[in-house]
Amino acid sequence: MLMNWTTEDIPSYVKEKKYVDTALVPLISLEFGDGIKQSAAMNEFITVISKEMERQFRGRMLLVPPFTYLEDNNINDLKKLAEEWIKQMKKGDVKHIILITADPSWKKVEQELEGMLLWMPLVPFENMDDEYKKQVISEQIKQLLPLVMDKWKENP
């Protein structure tokens, strides 16, 4: 059973809410100037990794819409907004919040965030064939799975 933020999946989430205790929030930076290509590559990478993580943890994790922001926003202001999202999710009985990004700016405020931050160095898919892309995604997910499971063990 998929757990995405869609009209098709949300009824299942509501029904199975006691088992789905984790929200996965992609943090996506938008840049429309010189960094537009990098911004698009980060979006593509984090979107693919997020969908695969939700698939791996099917029935335990809800993939929510991305927290999208402009590249030149102040990271402290963004942290405050992200904390509002986290607060709302916790009000909705979401026990674990995982934020995932390729934007290194979030590392500056990682210790201040209530949720778990997964920062991934960008791997651009631009010139990869599909088979190599699948291999890269699989390797990235293998590194993330134990981090998430350790987080669950800390606070069951």
Reported as a single tens digit per residue, the pLDDT across 15-66 is: 878 888 999 999 999 999 999 999 999 999 999 999 999 999 888 899 999 9
Domain-wise residue ranges, the chain: 10-154
Domain covering 10-154: architecture: 3-Layer(aba) Sandwich (3.40)
Alpha helices, H only, the chain: 10-15, 36-56, 75-91, 130-154
Predicted pLDDT of residue 15? 80
